[in-house]
């Protein structure tokens, strides 16, 4: 099967979308499929890139700081059309995604789209996204060559009683209208499926989590003997991830003289402020901020840790939580709907997203080594259900259903 991925996030970005695109494309290729990836060009060419990656000229994004908007030139449009793809798979619907949608319409190709990002929440946190939302509402129908849809997309911009209501309505409407063009939608978790249904998306929605690649974890980490319980968080260092919950928990645990240490791995807009707070509160011996690490180095941190802590309520599937489970770490989490592996009392504990609650849960679990081992063993066993090769096989089944549905609609 010839498959074309369209994504506005790809290497050198270390977003969850990048990880999902990489894991699925590699697994599909191992199964004999040809996968092309269309993504915005980085400011500098990346050495050693796969030959089936097609980079679009790009400019700084109107959607999100740090993101880049791909520009589809006529020459590259012809290159992509001539790939003779069986199906297009959209991983985001920024400028690169909309460019792919235009080609999809022109060629009348089957398509699926994965709803990776909770755009409603991010629109509330990052006000700069309004420019992208307005652009999508006003110009999206013309970019994808569907001008008849313009009245429907613009209807989401009608004045409301409050700015919040106007913003929510615009986001809901844009997500609903955009997803009506695909033959099938993929939600990475049941949480996202429920959310899309709440937006009144009418296309069929299938739940498929991004899988784990066991080969990524082949490197063995030699741990020094220590009585300190090592806590780990992996993800963006951003306020919406409830990072302050972990900071407060560590303040409490320091006062209780608990023998625990927290490592935060990941980049983000809150990283500099967190480093400042750690210094101001003399928590350098209790909290380490590693920043963004290359993927292999980030994966190695699981093997150096005892408990995985994840207070975020905004993630769509929390791939990092699944990775921690695969590595046999007990899980402390605040959103049980982000992963089928977040099982309260089985793979770890559900914890209210407050500093006090996390401090209590961490202190208790750090003292109960047998329970740590029990949760970790159960988490590792549960993670075998989402190995990437298995998930890729399920993805191909979704592709086949989407192609069949598309063909029947055309008949």
Domain spans of the chain? Answer: 2-211+388-410, 214-385
- Cα 56–61–64 angle (5° rounding)? 130
Please report the beta strands in 304-363, taking only residues with DSSP state E, as ranges in sequence order: 307-310, 331-333, 348-350
Which pLDDT band holds residue 340 (cuts at 50, 70, 90)? very high
d(CA 262, CA 130): 35
Tell me what percent of the residues of the chain surpass a pLDDT of 90: 72
pLDDT in tens, 108-125: 999 999 999 876 766 666
pLDDT, average across residues 58-82: 88
Q: What is the CATH T-level fold of the domain 2-211+388-410, as seen in this structure?
A: Rossmann fold (3.40.50)
Architecture of domain 214-385 in this structure: 3-Layer(aba) Sandwich (3.40)
Q: Where are the alpha helices (DSSP H) in 15-86?
A: 16-30, 74-81
Q: Where are the alpha helices (DSSP H) in 82-241?
A: 95-107, 119-125, 130-143, 150-154, 163-179, 190-198
Same fold, 2-211+388-410 and 214-385: yes
Q: Alpha carbon of 247 to those of 252, 263, 265: distances in Å?
A: 9, 11, 14
pLDDT, residue 339, reads 93
SS3 state of residue 319: helix
Which pLDDT band holds residue 409 (cuts at 50, 70, 90)? confident
- How does strand 307-310 pair with strand 68-70? unpaired
Confidence (pTM) = 0.89
Which pLDDT band holds residue 160 (cuts at 50, 70, 90)? low
Name which residue leads in pLDDT, 273 or 162: 273
């Amino acid at each position: 099967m010839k498959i074309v991925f369209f994504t506005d996030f790809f290497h050198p970005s270390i977003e969850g979308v990048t990880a999902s695109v990489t894991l699925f494309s590699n697994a599909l290729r191992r199964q004999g499929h040809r996968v092309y990836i269309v993504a915005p060009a980085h400011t500098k060419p990346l050495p050693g890139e796969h030959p089936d990656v097609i980079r679009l000229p790009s400019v700084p994004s109107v959607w999100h700081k740090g993101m880049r908007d791909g520009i589809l030139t006529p020459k590259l449009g012809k290159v992509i059309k001539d790939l003779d793809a069986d199906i297009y798979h959209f991983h985001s619907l920024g400028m690169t995604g909309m460019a792919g949608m235009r080609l999809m319409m022109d060629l009348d190709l089957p398509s699926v789209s994965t709803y990776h990002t909770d755009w409603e929440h991010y629109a509330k946190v990052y006000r700069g996204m309004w420019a992208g939302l307005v652009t999508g509402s006003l110009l999206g129908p013309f970019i994808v060559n569907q001008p008849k849809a313009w009245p429907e997309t613009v209807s989401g911009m009608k004045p409301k009683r409050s700015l919040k209501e106007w913003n929510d309505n615009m986001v809901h409407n844009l997500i609903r209208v955009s997803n009506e063009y695909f033959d099938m939608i993929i939600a990475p978790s049941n949480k996202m499926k429920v959310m899309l249904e709440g937006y009144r998306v009418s296309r069929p929605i299938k739940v498929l989590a991004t899988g784990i690649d066991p080969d990524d974890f082949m490197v063995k980490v030699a741990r020094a003997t220590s009585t300190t319980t090592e806590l780990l968080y992996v993800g963006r260092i951003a306020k919406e991830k409830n990072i302050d919950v972990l900071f407060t928990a560590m303040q409490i645990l320091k006062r209780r003289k608990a023998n625990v240490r927290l490592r935060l791995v990941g980049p983000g807009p809150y990283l500099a402020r967190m480093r400042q707070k750690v210094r101001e509160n003399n928590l350098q011996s209790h909290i380490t901020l590693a920043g963004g690490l290359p993927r292999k180095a980030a994966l190695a941190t699981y093997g150096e840790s005892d408990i995985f802590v994840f207070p975020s309520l905004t993630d769509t599937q929390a791939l990092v939580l699944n990775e921690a489970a695969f590595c046999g770490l007990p899980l402390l989490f605040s959103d049980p709907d982000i992963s089928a592996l977040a099982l309260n009392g089985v793979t770890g504990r559900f914890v209210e997203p407050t500093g006090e609650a996390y401090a209590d849960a961490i202190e208790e679990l750090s003292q109960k080594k047998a329970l740590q081992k029990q949760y970790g063993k159960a988490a590792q066993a549960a993670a075998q259900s989402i190995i990437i090769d298995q998930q890729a096989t399920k993805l191909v089944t979704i592709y086949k259903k989407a192609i069949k549905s598309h063909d029947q609609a055309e008949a």
